[in-house]
Structure 1
Amino acid sequence: MSVTTEERQNRTEGEGGGTGGAASFAAATRLVAEREIMSFVRTKGFWVGLGLIVVGLFAASILPKVFSGGSTDVAVVGAQSSAVLEQFDAELVPAEDTAAATELVRSEQVDAAVVPDTTGESATGVRVVALTEPPAELVAALGTVPPVDILQTSDVGQGQRALVVMVFALLFVMFGMGGVAIAQSTVTEKQTRIVEILVATVPVRALLAGKIVGHALLTLGQVLVVAIAAPIALQLGDHGDLLSVVAPALGWFVPFMCLGFLLLASLWAVAGSLVSRQEDLSASMSVVMLVIMAPYFLVLTQSDNAAMMTVLSYVPFSAAVAMPVRMFTGDAQVWEGLASLGVLAAAVVVMVLLASRLYAGALLLTGGRVALRKAWARGD
């Protein structure tokens, strides 16, 4: 007598949910997590990926010009200011007077300004105006160091800010995309029908929990490696003065990244449970890809927009990047970081509960793509 998929699911869920013949939920979760961890640490792709992340981190710190690019724009006032920059490779932007040149710097239309010195302090007869930090190359090109006026005193320069924003956003994407392994393993188990054996031994929700815990531990290990490598990379890249500022941000980034991964991992698991073939996985992954890439582009493009960054700091899918960046730049207080972390933790709990119902309802359904409504109805 044949057994339908629904009967098989009801039978396995009943067996898996008991405490007699089947493993307990905690023990089953641990076994599945160990299985996921061991299966991935034995692959070359895992170590190659981690190695590329570390190498990229060192490259971003040691070779900042690769990411900055472009010529230096310098506002100049008068012939004397232009003359002292003849040997400096820069795009000169004429300004009517010192006030106009200063406004160009303040509005970030130019990187710096060279204006006449009316105080008699400069041996070269000019002084430099910069926004947040002295322009090292420009000052060195002038030979005798001139007076430098800083318009906005800050512990973090524009270049340093851009570097950290880019690294945090990129790490979020790379670790978030690492969760695709959960979806792929789920589809593989469905396609090979191994999942029917697994759920006969462990509860369906324990299978989901084990996958999330296992991959979360793998991600935590990778984040800790990055957190250890980052200060070393900054030191080698002559950014030692940045260490004292970036260290607290790394302390925030680790818990935010781990919670952010749990949020995304539950979505990856659902995406995998809704299809039965690897060929169909790309369609179900599109929404997850969107919630990963959207924070990446928003933070990169809106990092100078204080209002937008504040909003992004409390949106669960972008908080993992936006709030650590704001803590790094000093735009957020400690209580704001804790509040954002609480919002993210609450979102993780809600999302995991929703995902567990959808996962349980769709896991044993084979054939075409499973509709969310059907998965939800069967996940009781």
Structure 2
Amino acid sequence: MTDAHRPVFEYKIGLLAPSRVGKSTLIASLLKEGQQLLNRETSVQLTADRPTLNRINATHNMVTGALKARVFEPGLVPSTPDPSYFRLLLEPRGQDLPIRFDILDYPGAWLEKGGNSDQNEQKWNECETFLSDSSVLIVPVDSVLLMDAGDTHAHLLTAHLAVSQIEQVVQRWAKNRRERPGEPAMVIFCPVKCETYLSDSGSLQDHSAQLRQQLCDQFSEVLETIREAAPHASVRYLPIDTFGCVELVSARWTPHADSPGGVMLMPKYRVRPPGTITRKGLDDLVSLLCRQLVEAARLQSQRTAAVRRVTAEFSRRHAEAQEGFFRDLWLKVNGERRRRIEAADGDEARYRDAEQTTRSLFDVLATLAERANGARLQHLS
């Protein structure tokens, strides 16, 4: 997209998860970690508008306060009550090439129950439209549910993960992506709260293989839907430590009337001293998103440049075409020849601008590509 003064590339990123998985925390972490990573390793900066910063700071304060209590129970953190947009801007320093991406946060219960009421159903329909239009879908998955649900409640796992509801949204998204083959198409499955299961987090045991296998087993239908409906889409697997300084103490099923089976899994964590947040895996998510969106912007700019080149060539031929002595004289006298030349000059300037934008985005992409992926980031397709 282009405004009157500069190119603006706009994309949507959808988060697809039921309630209490930690969507808001993941978004807040994405900005804070993203800013630090990009400032440290690249010439690209990540910023946000004031409402987004306010929501992110509120989430960060709530989580930090809970961690300082030394015992952390995610179930006590309030859920998102209403849908809200997080608007982030990715911009190369010293260049006027903003890449904006919007992330929608919404009550996870809407995914599970389609809005719960007539009023919320309409809002959920709007959320579904946003998700289906998204360039990238991030699917946060509660790793405690995957790993510690227990045999007694194993039959409830698929319902608590909202696999069927996620599959329906993904199917609509995949069909939408198939109709837009020139646009980005990526799904990232992100098990969260992985600190207890991965040895690089400080855990004494490594359950990384079991975690991945559990996710693939539970979401096998979703993965098959993507392969069938959007075979060109890239599917990635990236486990993330939500806090990095916690260790699972217990995971108990407790009565909860609104949950499948009338119960909810309530994990409880102890905080590892000194309680400093160190989120592993999130840097790879930031890098992956940035590369995907910059590459999409580059391809969009490249297509724009190709169209403008054809337009500029036609305008120049039209401006310089010889139409006979008397006709040429008349074009000169009435100013038409000058207007045609000015139009051709303008079209060529726009073409050069698009070419420069494409080269600049290529340079930014090359800078982002210099950072090697971590071992956690894997392909699922």
Whether these two folds match at TM > 0.5 is: no
Give the strand-richer structure, 1 or 2. 2
Q: TM-score, with normalisation over the residues of structure 1?
A: 0.29
Select the structure of larger CA radius of gyration.
Answer: 1
Give the helix-richer structure, 1 or 2. 1
